[in-house]
C-alpha cells in the first residue's frame, strides 16, 4: 500500500507482539536452548549474533553458548516492525544491522593466532549493492535507504580486513595473515514488498536462485 497511497507509520508499540511470539514458538520448536551449554565445545563451529543496545548505541555480539531465544529475538528486532527486546539488566536491543553487519572483526577475534585464522572469508550479501532504477515509491525509497545503511556497515567490516592485509609487513607474523574476502551477491531486482512475501512459490524461487549463485561462486573459487 505504501507504493500506491499515503499510509500512516504505526509504531509497533500500538499493536500486540504476535510476530515476536510466533518467532519465539518457531525457534523453540527447532532448537533446544536448554542443551546449548552442554552441546557447544571448543571444536564447534563459531556462531556470532549481533544486536545493538538502543539507548547506549553500543554493539553487542552474542557467542556460541551465550545464545538464547531472547538474544536471537533481539537480533531480529527491526525497529519499524518489532518492539525492542529487553534483556534484563543488559539493556534494550534492536537488530544489529546499523552497527556491525556482520560482526567480522569480532569473528576474527575468535582466532588470536595466525595459524588458526581462515585463509578466506565468504560473505553472502543479501542487500543489493547496485540498483538499475531510481526508487520513486516511498516504500522503495525507504527500502533502498535501509539497504545502503546495511551495506555501509558491511563495507566498514570488510575495509578493516583490507587494512590489516595492507599492514601485514609491519605486524607480528604469528598473529596476522593475509585473508581473502569473497562475496556472493544478490543481483536480482526485487521491490520492497518482496521482503514480506512468504508465498511457497516465491520462497522456492529464491532457493533456486541462491543455489544457482552458489554454484557459480564455487566454480570461480575452485
pTM score, two decimals? 0.79
More confident residue, 171 or 105: 171
DSSP 84: P
Tell me the DSSP string of 168-222. Answer: GGGS-TTT----EEEEEE--S---GGGGG---HHHHHHHHHHHHHHHHHHHHHH-
**What is the arithmetic mean of pLDDT over 164-191?**
91
The full set of domain ranges for the chain reads: 1-99, 112-222
**What is the arithmetic mean of pLDDT over 190-197?**
83
The residues that bridge with 50 in the sheet, in sequence order, are 61
- In the chain, alpha helices (H): 18-30, 36-39, 69-75, 104-108, 138-166, 200-221
- Closest by CA position to 49, among listed 95, 82, 90: 95
**Whether residue 2 has pLDDT greater than 60:** no
Alpha-carbon distance of 184 to 187, in angstroms, equals 9
pLDDT at 5: 61
Residue with cell 538464547: 68
- Residue 121: which pLDDT band, with cuts at 50, 70 and 90? very high
- Closest by CA position to 31, among listed 82, 76, 67, 74: 67
**Whether residue 97 has pLDDT greater than 80:** no
CA distances from 122 to 58, 128, 182 (A): 26, 16, 5
Span 7-30, pLDDT tens digits: 677 888 988 999 899 999 999 999
Amino acid at each position: 500500500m505504501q507504493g500506491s497511497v499515503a499510509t500512516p507509520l504505526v509504531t509497533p508499540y500500538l499493536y500486540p507482539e504476535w510476530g515476536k511470539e510466533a518467532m519465539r514458538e518457531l525457534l523453540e520448536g527447532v532448537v533446544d536452548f536448554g542443551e546449548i551449554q552442554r552441546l557447544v565445545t571448543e571444536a564447534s563451529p563459531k556462531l556470532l549474533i549481533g544486536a545493538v543496545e538502543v539507548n547506549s548505541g553500543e554493539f553487542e555480539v552474542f557467542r556460541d553458548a551465550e545464545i538464547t531465544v531472547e538474544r536471537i529475538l533481539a537480533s531480529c528486532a527491526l525497529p519499524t516492525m518489532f518492539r525492542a527486546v529487553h534483556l534484563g539488566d543488559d539493556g534494550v536491543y534492536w537488530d544489529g544491522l546499523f552497527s556491525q553487519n556482520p560482526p567480522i572483526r569480532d569473528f576474527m577475534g575468535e582466532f588470536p593466532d595466525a595459524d588458526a585464522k581462515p585463509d578466506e572469508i565468504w560473505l553472502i550479501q543479501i542487500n543489493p549493492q547496485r540498483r538499475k532504477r531510481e526508487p520513486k515509491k516511498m516504500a522503495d525509497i525507504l527500502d533502498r535507504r535501509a539497504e545502503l545503511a546495511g551495506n555501509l556497515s558491511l563495507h566498514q567490516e570488510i575495509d578493516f580486513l583490507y587494512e590489516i592485509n595492507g599492514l601485514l609487513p609491519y605486524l607480528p607474523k604469528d598473529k596476522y595473515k593475509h585473508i581473502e574476502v569473497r562475496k556472493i551477491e544478490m543481483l536480482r531486482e526485487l521491490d520492497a514488498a518482496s521482503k514480506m512475501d512468504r508465498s511457497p512459490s516465491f520462497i522456492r524461487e529464491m532457493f533456486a536462485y541462491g543455489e544457482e549463485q552458489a554454484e557459480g561462486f564455487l566454480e570461480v573459487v575452485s
